[in-house]
Every structure is written in structure tokens, then in C-alpha cells.
Chain A
Amino acid sequence: MATPVLDKTEETSGASPYITVTFRIRRFNPEVSEHAVWEDFQLEIDPKERVLDGLHKIKWDQDGTLTFRRSCAHGICGSDAMRINGKNRLACKTLIKDINPEKPITIEAIKGLTVLKDLIVDMEPFFQAYRDVMPFLVTKGNEPTRERLQSAEDRERFDDTTKCILCAACTSSCPVFWNDGQYFGPAAIVNAHRFIFDSRDEAGEQRLEILNDKDGVWRCRTTFNCTDACPRGIEVTKAIQEVKRALITRRF
């Protein structure tokens, strides 16, 4: 009995923390069938674990063909955005106990982008829209020898939109984007906002002109799906309206 305390905890915690949950996953394999099908998986899992852990359990123990993206698995890289119980979330930030594990948990790929396999979509249109708004610092004149300084208030102006991790949860929850992929989408506008309102940047005018396009900010219908979906809590819809306001006040 070198470690009596450990033994004791093992005895007292007799009740297993594990529960049985059903994952209902939208499977699609273009090499097998052109139709996507729902497939159920039963697994024993601690309800305090995340949906991503459940997906790992399925992939490692039950069906190795299940395909999904994930990199850091801690809500930073933005790889594993998926539609869980009908809402866009990051699988690595969603706890099983928070999404009603008594019923089957539905998991599908995010909407509005081409599904390549299972939960993987072609993100290229999403990144194309992102590149179109020039998400990099543009300045004129000589390079300063030191860093470009900025007051705390100037930094605060665009603080919210610096948090974006490009997971596409917002863009693929937007009904306008579902129907017309030409719309820039919330994520691109958020990343334009981050530079438009940066006091150090000098291409705000150019970015506003890009978003003044007919597929730009004016297609936003303020349904707030993007704000609800954002795993980083960015007030996406507010950012879009601030860009609209900048476009209006610039002209009149």
C-alpha cells in the first residue's frame, strides 16, 4: 500500500462517469456514392469531454475512414468548424454535456461550400474572399526604423475583429452566402474591418471600395447568424454594420 490515497479514490468513485451517446454523422465519400448518408455511431464517453474527442474515438476505434480536419484541437487554429446539432461550432470547444447527449448528436460539414469527403469542405472560395479584401498592412512612405506605434485607444478600435481564426463558422452560417457564394461573407468583412479601422493602415479607402461591390456589405441582411456562430465571440454583425456606416459617412 504505497499509495493508499489512490486506492481509496478508485474504490469510492465506483460509478462510471461514462455515458453512451450516439453520434449521427453525415457521411459522404465521392468514391463510393454521390449521395451523402447519415451514419450512427454509439460510443462510451465522459460527458465532460468534447465532440472532437468523440470523433477521435470513432476514427481510432470504430471506423478509420471517418474524415475530418483538426490541427491544434484547442480552439486556436480554426480547422474543425462543423455543424453540430444544426449549429456551426468548433468540435474542439463543444462539450458533450452542453449539447443534450440524451438524443443523437448530429454532425455534418459546414454549409455553402463543396463537400469533398465526410466533414471536409473545399475552403478555397472562402479564402479567395479573404484574399480579395487585402488582409495585410498597407503603408506609404519610408519604413520607420522602429515599430509603428499606436495609442491604446486606436488599438481598441479594431480589437474585436483581430480575434478571427478563419474557421468559416460565420460565413457558412450566413443564409445569403448559402444561396450566392459570390457574397464576400462575414469572415472576409471582419478581416477587412480589422485593417480599415487600424490607424496605421493606409489602404482603408481601397478596402471600402472593394466591399462597396454589389457582393459586398450591402448584401448583409443582419440575420445575426454569424454573431451566434462565432466561436471567438466576435460581434460579427456589428463589424459589418460599422463598415456600412463608414461607407455612408465617407460619401455624405
Chain B
Amino acid sequence: MSTDTTSAIGQVEGEGATRHYDVDNPAPYIEAPRKRTGKTPKSTRGNFEMAAWLFMRLSGVVLVVLVIGHLLIQLVLDGGVSKIGFAFVAGRWASPFWQTWDLLMLWLAMLHGANGLRTVINDYAERPNTRLWLKGLLYTATVFTILLGTLVIFTFDPNIR
């Protein structure tokens, strides 16, 4: 477990001392987190993390308007939740404005939530396999919901039997 740091700054106290963990010296082994080798890339996917961070802020602001407006119309104004029925939805989706509203809300909310869960998985799932499966499940569910929702909004037929 030598620290192969290709740093130009030179050796620092304690570095280079090899430590052995075996039966006589069973310290819990944590792999050196910032181990640097010659093959370690200098920068990795940096811009994606920045874009994701920025997207969370911007989509959050837009979603506040979209979701509160949506809740007001659906649940509070003009008779509240009791008015919602097939006819009500069909009437709303007859207008391109509400189609766009719902489409935007669907995409932003799903991506916002999925990205949030991605960071939660990154922070809490410790084993690589757990991470892989949780993220796989998350991405599958996200893509499925977004595609199905988009399909319904675009191909909605008010005269369906």
C-alpha cells in the first residue's frame, strides 16, 4: 500500500512508510481515497457535474411556478378536485398552451427528481454494485415515465372509446 503520488511537490512527512495490515496488525483497511497514479485523468466529466448543478437551480425556479400553478388549477380554483374528470383533462389538453405547460412540467420534474436521487445514490450507496443497480433502476423508471407521459400528451385523443 505505497502511495504512488506523482506529485512534483515532493515527499511529505509520513509518506512512503509502508504499512502492513495482517493478522497481527488488523487495522480496518480503507483504500487511500486520493491515490494518484500516472494514469489518473486530470479532469473527468467536470462539465457534466456543473451542468447538473446549474440545471437543478434553474429547473427548480421554473418548477415553483409550474407546480404551484398546476396545483391551484387542479385542486383549489373553480370547484377544487371534484371537477377533475375525463372531460376536464380533455378540455385543457385541447389548448397547446396547457399541452406545453404539462409537457414542460413533466420533463423538468422528472429530470430534477432523477438528478436529485442520483446525487443521493452517489452519496449513500457504498458498494459499486449497489450503485449500479440503483442507478439503473432510477434511469429506467425516469426514461419510461418521461416517454410514456410525452406520448400521452402528444397522441391524446378526446374521442377515445
* Chain A interface residues (CB < 8 Å from chain B): 30-31, 33-34, 113-116, 123-125, 127-129, 131-132, 175-176, 179-182, 209-210, 212-214, 216, 218-219, 221, 244, 247-248, 251
Distance A127 CA – B35 CA, assembled complex (angstroms) = 11
Asked whether, in the complex, the Cβ of A179 is within 8 Å of the Cβ of B28, the reply is no
> Contacts A123-B14, A124-B14, A180-B122; is A214 near B49 (CB within 8 Å)?
yes
> Contacts A30-B27, A214-B48, A221-B119; is A181 near B33 (CB within 8 Å)?
yes
User: Chain B residues with Cβ under 8 A from A248's Cβ?
Assistant: 50, 54
Task: Please choose the segment from B5-13, B74-82, B92-100, B136-144 that sits at the chain A interface, where 4 or more of its residues have CB less than 8 A away.
Answer: B5-13
Which of these, A175, A209, A244, contacts B46 with CB under 8 Å? Answer: A209
Closest beta carbon of chain A to B18's beta carbon, Å:
12
Which of these, A116, A132, A218, A221, contacts B34 with CB under 8 Å? Answer: A132
User: Chain A residues with Cβ under 8 A from B30's Cβ?
Assistant: 113-114, 181
Those of B1-26 within 8 Å (CB) of chain A: 3, 5, 7, 9, 12, 14-15, 21, 24-26
Besides A30-B21, A131-B5, A131-B7, 17 new A-B residue pairs in contact (Cβ under 8 A), listed by A number = A30-B25, A31-B25, A34-B28, A114-B30, A125-B32, A128-B5, A128-B32, A131-B9, A179-B124, A180-B33, A180-B122, A181-B33, A216-B46, A218-B50, A221-B123, A248-B50, A248-B54
User: Chain A residues with Cβ under 8 A from B43's Cβ?
Assistant: 209-210, 212-213
Distance A125 CA – B53 CA, assembled complex (angstroms) = 26
User: Chain B residues with Cβ under 8 A from A128's Cβ?
Assistant: 3, 5, 32-36
| B44 beta carbon closer than 8 Å to chain A | yes
User: Which chain A residue lies CB-closest to B25?
Assistant: A30
Asked whether, in the complex, the Cβ of A116 is within 8 Å of the Cβ of B123, the reply is no
> Contacts A128-B5, A131-B7, A131-B9; is A213 near B122 (CB within 8 Å)?
no
Distance A85 CA – B25 CA, assembled complex (angstroms) = 29
| B39 beta carbon closer than 8 Å to chain A | no
Closest beta carbon of chain B to A33's beta carbon, Å:
8
Closest beta carbon of chain B to A132's beta carbon, Å:
7
Closest beta carbon of chain B to A246's beta carbon, Å:
12
Write the B48-85 contact mask toward A (1 if CB under 8 angstroms, else 0): 11101110000000000000000000000000000000
Asked whether, in the complex, the Cβ of B25 is within 8 Å of the Cβ of A213, the reply is no
User: Which chain A residue lies CB-closest to B5?
Assistant: A128
Distance A210 CA – B41 CA, assembled complex (angstroms) = 11
User: Which chain B residue lies CB-closest to A247?
Assistant: B50
| B45 beta carbon closer than 8 Å to chain A | yes
User: Chain A residues with Cβ under 8 A from B9's Cβ?
Assistant: 131
Which of these, B21, B24, B28, contacts A115 with CB under 8 Å? Answer: B28
**Which residue of B28, B29, B46 has the most chain A CB atoms within 10 A of its CB atom?**
B46
Interface pairs A-B: 8 shortest CB-CB: A181-B33, A34-B26, A128-B34, A218-B49, A30-B27, A212-B46, A125-B33, A114-B30
User: Which chain A residue lies CB-closest to B46?
Assistant: A212
